[in-house]
């Protein structure tokens, strides 16, 4: 993927989101997941609800071949072995060869030396379009002091905007840092997206589902004149759509706790993909200072 020089929120509108959802439905993109067993059901279901086609072919003997026929590839390092790392690299290199975008979710980066080494090797071998992580993972990847306990971010990481831009500059990827508010950054600009609901963090798998959403939206890149035009646009639209689904789920009747909220969230994703409403997306975007 070529390096992108600017972030263009002017192109992010409710109509663009609706058009992107229509493009996904029309193309039914194949999204190849190399991910962890803990959240595999959640990631498959959210991809399907966005109208993508999930596949989880992580065996080294077929990972590269499957990626060659996919419209996007997601590499999630939540639970992996040395063999899994090889499969991710093979799939990523194959996706690069055919021009399919690769999304990397470096789950638990910084928690162990093996995870740090594995993610670094993937980034060295694969041209990644989008890197998505929690604030601790992104700060750690950017070379800053970060606190990650297990796979969870610990601490505030208030300088996440500059850290995300630094990581984008180093890798050429669009960087998504998730948290109470999400940040999307290129090397030049960073934007904070105020969308979602706090209950999105009450069940296991929501972060992994965002990775799948990013890959599904990125799969539409290059579909003629339809949005999104860039990986940056795709990332912003994906995060906003994901957050609006979280808000809609919070208002659903019968939501009493994490389990019912999780079900309502998946239903909300499917409803947004089906209805394609024109949402006030620009109201949720705030430019962060360059400094």
Contact 125, 117 (CB under 8 A): no
pLDDT at site 10: 67
CA distance linking residue 96 with residue 127, whole number of Å: 7
Longest Cα–Cα distance in the chain = 47
Classify residue 283: in a domain, yes or no.
yes
Q: Containing domain of residue 93, as a range?
A: 15-287
How many other C-beta atoms can be found within 10 angstroms of the C-beta atom of residue 198? 9
Helix then strand then coil, % of the chain, to nearest 5: 50, 15, 35
Number of domains in the chain: 1
Known binding residues for ATP are: 132, 178
Known binding residues for substrate are: 56, 205
Classify residue 232: in a domain, yes or no.
yes
pLDDT at site 291: 45
Q: Which CATH number do you get for residue 57? A: 3.40.1190.20
CA distance linking residue 178 with residue 156, whole number of Å: 12
For residue 157, pLDDT beyond 80: no
Classify residue 4: in a domain, yes or no.
no
Classify residue 3: in a domain, yes or no.
no
pLDDT at site 225: 62
Classify residue 7: in a domain, yes or no.
no
Classify residue 8: in a domain, yes or no.
no
Say how many CA atoms lie within 13 Å of 48 toward its Cβ: 11
Classify residue 244: in a domain, yes or no.
yes
pLDDT at site 80: 86
Classify residue 189: in a domain, yes or no.
yes
Going 106 to 112 to 114 to 120, the CA torsion angle's sign is: positive
The single residue listed with the structure tokens 């940056």 is 232
CA distance linking residue 182 with residue 195, whole number of Å: 8
Known binding residues are: 56, 132, 178, 205
CA distance linking residue 188 with residue 4, whole number of Å: 9
CA distance linking residue 189 with residue 87, whole number of Å: 33
Say how many CA atoms lie within 13 Å of 73 toward its Cβ: 33
The band of 171, judged by pLDDT with boundaries at 50, 70 and 90, is very high
The band of 289, judged by pLDDT with boundaries at 50, 70 and 90, is low
Per residue in 181-229, pLDDT (tens digit) is: 999 999 989 999 999 999 999 999 999 999 999 999 999 986 656 667 7
Q: Helix (H, G, I), strand (E, B), or coil: what is residue 159?
A: coil
């Amino acid at each position: 993927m070529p390096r992108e020089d600017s972030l263009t929120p002017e192109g992010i509108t409710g109509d663009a989101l609706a058009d992107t959802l229509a493009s996904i439905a029309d193309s039914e993109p194949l999204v190849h997941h190399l991910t962890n067993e803990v959240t595999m059901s959640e990631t498959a279901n959210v991809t399907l609800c966005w109208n993508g086609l999930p596949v989880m072919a992580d065996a080294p003997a077929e990972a590269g071949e499957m990626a060659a026929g996919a419209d996007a590839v997601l590499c999630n390092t939540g639970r992996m072995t040395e063999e899994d790392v090889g499969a991710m690299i093979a799939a990523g290199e194959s996706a690069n060869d055919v021009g399919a975008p690769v999304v990397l979710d470096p789950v638990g980066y910084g928690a162990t030396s093996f995870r740090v080494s594995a993610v670094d090797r993937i980034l060295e071998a694969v041209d990644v379009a989008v890197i998505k992580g929690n604030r601790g993972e992104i700060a750690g990847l950017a070379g800053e002091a970060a606190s990650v306990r297990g796979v969870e971010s610990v601490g505030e990481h208030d300088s996440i905007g500059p850290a995300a831009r630094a990581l984008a500059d180093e890798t050429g990827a669009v960087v998504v840092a998730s948290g109470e508010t999400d940040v999307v950054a290129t090397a030049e600009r960073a934007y904070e997206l105020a969308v979602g609901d706090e209950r999105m963090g009450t069940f296991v798998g929501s972060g992994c589902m965002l990775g799948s959403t990013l890959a599904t939206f990125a799969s539409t890149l290059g579909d003629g004149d339809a949005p999104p035009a860039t990986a940056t646009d795709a990332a912003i639209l994906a995060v906003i759509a994901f957050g609006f689904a979280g808000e809609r789920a919070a208002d659903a009747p019968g939501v009493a706790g994490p389990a019912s909220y999780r079900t309502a969230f998946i239903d909300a994703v499917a409803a947004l993909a089906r209805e394609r409403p024109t949402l006030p997306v620009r109201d949720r975007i705030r430019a962060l200072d360059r400094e």
